[in-house]
Structure 1
Amino acid sequence: MISIRRAAAVAVTALAATAAAATPASAQAPDPVTDVRLIAFNDLHGNLEPPAGSSGRVTLPDGKTVDAGGAAYLATHVQRLRGEAPNSLVLSAGDNIGASPVISALFHDEPTVDFLNQLGVGASVVGNHEFDEGYRELRRMRFGGCHPEDGCQFRSSFGGAEFPFLGANVAFDNGFPALLPFTVKFSGGVPIGIIGVTLKDLPAVVTPEAIKGLKFGDEVAAIDRTADLLDRLGVRAQVVLMHQGDNTEGGGPDDCRLAPGPAAAIAARASSKVDAIFTGHSHQQYNCAINDPAGNPRPVIQGASFGRLLSVVDLRVDRRTRDVVRAETKAHNEIVTRDVAPDAGVTKLIDEAKTKAAPIANRPVGTITADLLKTGGPSGESALGDVIADAQLAATASNSAQVALTNPGGIRADLVHKSSPGGEGDGVVTYGEAFTVQPFGNIMQTITLTGANLKAVLEQQWQPNGTRILQVSSSLRYAYSAAAPIGSKVSNLAIAGKPVDPEGSYRVSVNNFLAAGGDGFTEFTKGTNLTGGPVDLDALLAYLGAHPNLAPPPADRITALP
């Protein structure tokens, strides 16, 4: 057996020989610097087809929008960007899979992994949705093999990802690393260290069962620890793929009007050895320069979601020091427009997935009279959120449910009135469209809360990392003042027209994610007398089937006060 030391020596000798063979003896000395282009995306969520509605548009600096996204178009844009810069790496900031449309999700996201392989992704950090089906399924996504229950349904075999999944702050309960902390890619003759960290609060946004046996550490500590290790290995050019992000106050793809949030705070504290930070998770578009602890600016960038933007960072690396010349770094977000020829190979893959999924995906399940949008109005209440909450209340009526509440993050797409390319007709909702809206397969649960508990739940909508307005059934009415102190924002709380009694008991239906305290709604864990219900998607399907020509409900359940 070759020792580790001897194997390393052989590898170094081979690299030196390769470099010597590539440089003729008469050639001039190489340029003192080399250019490396990093092309990244985040939160693809299996959107192989161009996403519909607002999920498929990018807002420009003037407030106008442009249609964007679609894997075949994304591949074409990546190919062009690579052609402009021969030394290029393609990276992902996480949530490639999970919460996916039906043509990927029906096959446990194997088509999306195949697409990422075709795209030539070099590395990806894990996002929270990579854990939707648990750690064992994440390993299958990486190393391949058929699904343990459903087998190989997309193709006869599944080879897994041809790139590493990174997570420097992900460990088993015993402290051993659960994922690779970094990878090193050579581009332009210099090593580029790629560090991956996911959000330390990941347990708050997935079900406990999915991450049993795992723990998630502080992002800054993991970055600093890994950056120091890479530096000791002689890897000076370093970038971070971080599945954590901030919200914005508007603007175009390269604006930097960030609301206070975790990503900017991490970027300001993380090791100065890191030269660029790609972010994700918040589905926002921004391109910022944030000073590192040494006072030197570095790009902190995010490309919206669903493949609508590509975040491009051009680095100039000093060959002698192997470090990035920070002053010459350039960054921008590139819109994945649909006015280019779609990539033929990716189109073939998508067509295959659509054909195999069609018998299920194209089945009509209901009709609507107008768009049902997931985006909330001034109060945060949305038409689609109202419909979903009403559906969940109806589906749990046998549990004596009086109210249903659902988390906005669980509503993944609009239901649009216009016919899809499948040709089902305007106003027809297909199974695939409904699945895209509610793809998680969460189970409905009805619990008993006191009136005081219910008010406390609603007060938890205002959190340090932002505001999450729960969508509520028509049986619930309340008002709030965002300007009021934390814990005292909600008023006029009523169920079925009667004021809520703080001492009274109420049956409240939520999905199992919320029931476990997900998204920071820990007050739900105080619920008692839990009774199970149907899967959330089944509740929506039943409601659509029972209410043909469904119209958007009036936005009168939540009132925003001064």
Structure 2
Amino acid sequence: MRGRRRPGCHAGHPAGLHRRQRGRLGLHLIGAGRSATIDILNAIGLDVTAAGNHEFDRGATDLSARLLGAFDAPVLAANVTGNDALRAEGDGNGVWTTQIDGVTVGFIGLVTDSLPSLVAESALQGVEVDDFIRTANVRAAALKDGDPDNGEADIVVVLAHEDAAVYATQFNGSVNAVFGGHTHDAHAATVTGKDGNRIAVVQSGQYGKLLGNITLSFDPATGAVGVVQAANIDLAASDCTTDAYGVQAIVDQAARESRAAGARVLTNLDTGFYRGTNNGSDPGANRSTESTAANLIADSYRSWLTTDVRPEGDHYVGLMNPGGVRADYLLGDLTEGEAYTVQPFGNEMGYATYSGAQLKAVLAQQWQPDTSRPVLMLGVSANVQVYLDQDAADELEEYWSRISTGAQTAADLESAIDAARNRIIRSVYIDGVELDDDAEVVVASNSFMLSGGDGFTALREGDVSSTGVLDRTVTAEYLQAGGATSADLAKRQIGVDMDVDTAGGSATVRFTGLSFTAASEQAAAGAVAEVTATVALADGGTQHLTSAAIDTTITPELPETGASTLKVVLPADVATTTCPADSRGSAGVSAAAACAVVSFTLVAHDGSTRSIDLQALVPVAAVTGRADAGVPEASEQVIIAPDDDPLAGFEVPDFLGSFSMMSVVVVSAAGLACYRVIRRGLRVRRHAVPSEM
């Protein structure tokens, strides 16, 4: 790109502007501040790059003092201010220009706006991160405004450590090409920018598997720029085997060091533990879904709390951020090196105590409509079961769509987002009981998470105790001790939505998120295959009402893989009780209104079952003869407390199977009726978000 032709294979690529694109720079630091990754990039002649969030893992000072000097190429971050060394890279202010065959090409490097949520707060002391779209458009316009004092370019290329497919259409008419990254998704296309301009957009996945290739045309007479090609080249299919840059020697040395350090076997796994996928062949790309790999790590954190720390508190919980899980745990022998690959960042373990309400706020922050991913689904330990309001989730996903396409801003939708987030957590069960807002929950996680990383700012409200123990050490010791050898295929966070027929006697219940995304996990014997609904009868028996299969089609970038919808119709001889009054006081229920309790069971491929804690309270025809008598008008979630429970003493047999997680209707050991019901009022559920928002 400095006007020279490099040695080696060119695979018949068309002549034009070529850039060796990294989807992401994952620094695996070796020795005295050097990295095999950087050594390779320098060897192949990297011309320019954009800073990513991991360059800030050890702080902006470390970036400027160590990493910038290690690169032979400028590292650009136009939207980061407050660091003089970074600001001076290239031509300054995040821009670098070069001449290629007499054409001036300007590069603008930017890091994701989410940087403050992706690194520890202390890492960005003295540094501010500006809006990357606005910054890119300002810099691009300056490069084509005819003023030589602020630099000029015939062609402008944006290097964005952010998902190009989501944001490329928001760049202005001065931008001609975009190389994206950060989300690890691969795509290549030509799109229309905000000023009607055509922009070549490439994002080349992860780990150097693809080569992003953009070819542009330029007419010196008119200054017109055209897109010839935007493509990703599969390097695994390339016949180019010439090592023109001495890369193999660097790789071999790094491999020798890694093998020596990581060959020891920790344990033998009977199954794999996998990250989320969008299409079945891109493991780790879907961070918006629950994964067995993240859950496993969360389990190890809780085990560490219960065995090594044992602080005071009502419950112990482990949480794991999906972005911290960088590889799958594969079937068979697991070595220290492979375990390191899964958790490469070397964060410190810590813990803090939160109220039940604060933990719910943390879980609500999994929905992040103002970032490049709509959801970041946490791994939670096995003693936690979270029920989500799918209606609220639908709203938040719609807000993400509006913000990511530029239709509205996060500020426009702030109050609507807050309202939906306040509803998104329907209920949480820990250690078999529903979580009280005042309960004391001790949360164990890595230092990155506990400092509010990845947007989980509610975790900053805890007084964190640091331990000096590495997170991967905790997980490795858990695995070595046999803490887990087979993946738990029970989803720990599922969505629920329910609509009741206004005439009474029927309801439609929708479940989401019942399946993991890895194909092998979906097909495993213990994976859920169907949902059944049952109801108690007046004669003391129970009746199966309906069953529905689980649709395991993957929902990309969403946590909803594994959906099932049941239409429940109550029989004539159903057992009834007086519907409870509305717990929020907005809509009373007549004493004449009768309700039936419908319970749900998940059935696995191997026939094993487990119950869902939530039960549906379905109105039936009122005793006055009016079908709508006493029916609540508002869409509400109702929690029945033991003291005013209308079904106390009304025993229903435990028909939910030996693997019932929590709620038979009567908890005999406590002598109390203690259970959860849901009711989604009588309005038709609206998928669309109100237009006035």
Fold shared by both chains (TM-score > 0.5)? yes
Match of 2:318 in 1: 404
| Alignment pair present for 1:375 and 2:276 | yes
Kept in 2: contact 1:36–1:317 (CA 8 A): no
Residue among 154, 157, 176 paired with 1:239:
157
**Partners of 1:127 and 1:531 in 2: how far apart?**
27
* Cα separation, partners in 2 of 1:469 and 1:163, compared to 1, 3 Å: same
Q: Please tell me whether residue 429 in structure 1 is matched to residue 334 in structure 2.
A: yes
Whether the 8 Å contact between 1:122 and 1:164 is mirrored in structure 2 is yes
What is the RMSD of the two structures over their aligned residues, measured on CA atoms? 3.1
Q: Does 1:296 pair with 2:197?
A: yes
- Aligned position for 1:193: 106
Identify unmatched segments of 5+ residues in structure 2. 279-285, 393-419, 497-509, 511-693
User: Which residue of structure 2 aligns with residue 468 of structure 1?
Assistant: 376
- Report deviation, 1:86: 5.0
SS of 1:467 mapped into structure 2: coil
SS at match of 2:178: strand
**Which residue number corresponds to residue 43 of structure 1?**
none
Going from structure 1 to structure 2, the CA distance change for 1:512 and 1:97 (only over 3 Å counts) comes to same
Greater gyration radius: 2
Deviation at 1:549, TM superposition (A): 7.4
Answer whether contact 2:16 2:215 (CA < 8 A) is retained.
no
Tell me, yes or no, if structure 1 residue 325 matches structure 2 residue 258.
Answer: no
Inter-partner Cα distance in structure 2 for 1:111 and 1:137: 18
Counterpart code for 1:518: G
- Cα distance in 2 for partners of 1:531, 1:97 equals 25
Aligned pair in 2 of structure 1 residues 194, 459: CA closer, same or farther (>3 Å)?
Answer: same
Secondary structure of 1:528's partner?
coil
Change (3 A) 1:93 1:168: farther
The answer on whether the counterparts of 1:447 and 1:531 sit within 8 Å (CA) in structure 2 is no
Distance 2:176 2:255 in 1: 40
| Structure 2: distance between partners of 1:533 and 1:434 | 19
Is 1:439–2:344 an aligned residue pair?
yes
Alpha-carbon distance between aligned partners in 1 of 2:137 and 2:386, rounded to the nearest angstrom: 46
2-structure distance, mates of 1:533, 1:469: 26
2:26 maps to: 97
Rounded Cα–Cα distance in structure 2 between residues aligned with 1:557 and 1:228: 48
Deviations 1:511-549, CA, capped at 9 Å, x for gaps: 221212111111111223645362111111111110177
Q: Residue 421 of structure 2: SS of its match in structure 1?
A: coil
Q: Tell me if the contact between 1:239 and 1:274 (Cα under 8 Å) persists in the aligned partners.
A: yes
Closer/same/farther in 2, CA of residues 173 and 182 from structure 1, 3 Å limit: closer
Letter aligned with residue 297 of structure 1: R
Q: Secondary structure at the match of 2:48?
A: strand
Counterpart in the other structure of 2:353: 448
Q: Is the 8 A contact 2:60 2:124 kept in 1?
A: yes
Counterpart residue type for residue 48 of structure 2: A
Report 1 or 2 for greater relative contact order, CA contacts < 8 Å, sequence distance ≥ 6.
1
How far did residue 79 of structure 1 move? Answer: 3.4
Inter-partner Cα distance in structure 2 for 1:440 and 1:227:
35
Match of 2:55 in 1: 130
Distance, in Å, in 2 between the alignment partners of 1:440 and 1:433 is 13
Distance 2:249 2:143 in 1: 40
Match of 1:79 in 2: 9
Deviation at 1:109, TM superposition (A): 5.5
1:206 to 116, 119, 129: 119
The aligned amino acid for 1:128 is N
SS at match of 2:47: strand
Residues 37 and 309 of structure 1: CA distance in aligned 2, closer, same or farther (over 3 Å) = farther
Alignment partner, residue 214 of structure 2: 313
Partners of 1:94 and 1:169 in 2: how far apart? Answer: 19
- Distance in 2 (CA, whole Å) between partners of 1:176 and 1:473 is 40
Structure 1 residues 340, 467: CA separation in 2 closer, same or farther (over 3 Å shift)? same
- Give how far 1:325 is off: 2.5
1:203 counterpart SS class: helix
Larger deviation: 444-453 or 358-367? 358-367
Equivalence map 1:113-262=2 (5 Å): 113-139=38-64, 142-144=67-69, 160-172=70-82, 177=87, 179=89, 180=92, 181-231=94-144, 232-233=147-148, 234-245=152-163
- Distance in 2, Cα, partners of 1:533 & 1:449: 21
Give 2:119's aligned amino acid. V
Aligned to 2:248: 347
Q: Deviations over 1:442-463 (max 9, x none)?
A: 1122111111111111111112
Aligned length: 444
Choose the corresponding residue for 1:414, options 328, 339, 342.
328
Contact 2:298 2:319 in 1 (8 A): yes
Judged with a 3 Å threshold, the aligned counterparts in structure 2 of structure 1 residues 529 and 319 are, in CA distance, closer, same or farther, namely closer
Please say if residues 24 and 184 of structure 2, whose CA atoms lie closer than 8 Å, have aligned partners that are also in contact.
no
> How far did residue 291 of structure 1 move?
2.1
Distance 2:274 2:127 in 1: 36
Deviations 1:345-401 (A, max 9, x none): 322221111113322122222221122112279993322112101111122231437
| One-letter identity of the residue aligned with 1:96 | L
Shift of 1:173: 7.0
Distance 1:270 1:491, change over 3 A: same
Please tell me the residue identity of whatever aligns with 1:186.
Q
State the 1:316 CA deviation: 0.8
**1:354 to 1:93, Cα distance in 2 relative to 1, 3 A:** closer
Deviation at 1:243, TM superposition (A): 0.8
Note if contact 1:93-1:242 (Cα within 8 Å) is conserved in structure 2. Answer: no
Q: Mark the runs of 5 or more structure 1 residues left unpaired by the alignment.
A: 1-34, 40-74, 145-159, 247-257, 418-426
Counterparts in 2 of 1:97 and 1:116: CA distance versus 1, 3 Å: same
Amino-acid identity (%): 29
Deviates further, 174-183 or 113-122: 174-183
TM-score normalised by structure 1 residue count: 0.72
What amino acid is the match of 2:225?
V
